[in-house]
């Protein structure tokens, strides 16, 4: 019998705070960090990327990161999500956090002026701001932790193949 995963939306009440142990694993024999026994290539440099991103996301979302372990082909995180915390943040704080999550860039470099304009545009759109507030307080905001594609491009250069790999992209 094949065991299928259960959709997060069926497991997590989006309005209630709670503690969660989440696991995200690589697929298609992809290696997250350490030395890949198959290719002999070291991906240890990725461990710091993953750790930095986890810590950054914990600062942006209404999440307390209690523990994490970055393994060779998967990541464990223990976190507490508090969707009500985001409801108490000011509109300006929501806009700042959202733009920090999805900054405006020019030629791959974060552009502070475009980020400021993006924040102002978000503040002028109450419906979008409300959506951002909900997503910043949600365990289900999947896109937030996915790479912007640059990690995928770097990996293709490292491995020399077109195999896509999302370094633990299942969101929180």
CA distance 40 to 147: 25
Q: Tokens 């979302």 — which residue?
A: 61
At 93 the pLDDT is 98
User: Please, which residues have CB within 8 angstroms of residue 72's CB and are 6 or more apart in sequence?
Assistant: 31, 32, 33, 34
At 1 the pLDDT is 61
At 154 the pLDDT is 43
Mean pLDDT, each 10-residue run in order, the chain (172 residues): 71 85 87 86 93 95 95 93 93 98 94 97 97 89 47 41 33 41
At 31 the pLDDT is 84
CA distance 59 to 56: 5
At 101 the pLDDT is 95
CA distance 84 to 101: 19
Q: Look up the pTM and report it.
A: 0.72
In terms of C-beta distances under 8 Å and separation of at least 24 residues, what long-range contacts does 38-46 make, across chains too? 39/159, 41/158, 41/159, 43/158, 46/167
């Amino acid at each position: 019998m094949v065991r299928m995963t259960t959709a997060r939306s069926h497991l997590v009440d989006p309005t209630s705070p709670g503690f969660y142990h989440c696991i995200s694993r690589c697929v298609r024999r992809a290696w997250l960090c350490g030395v890949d026994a198959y290719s002999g290539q070291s991906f240890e440099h990725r461990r710091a990327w993953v750790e930095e991103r986890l810590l950054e996301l914990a600062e942006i979302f209404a999440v307390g990161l209690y523990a994490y372990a970055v393994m060779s082909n998967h990541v464990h995180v223990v976190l507490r999500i508090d969707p009500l915390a985001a409801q108490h943040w000011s509109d300006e704080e929501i806009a700042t956090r959202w733009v920090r999550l999805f900054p405006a860039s020019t030629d791959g470099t974060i552009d502070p002026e475009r980020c400021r304009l993006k924040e102002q545009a978000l503040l002028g759109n109450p419906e979008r701001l409300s959506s951002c507030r909900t997503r910043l307080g949600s365990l289900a905001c999947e896109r937030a932790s996915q790479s912007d594609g640059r990690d995928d491009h770097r990996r293709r250069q490292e491995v020399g193949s077109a195999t896509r790999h999302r370094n633990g992209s299942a969101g929180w």
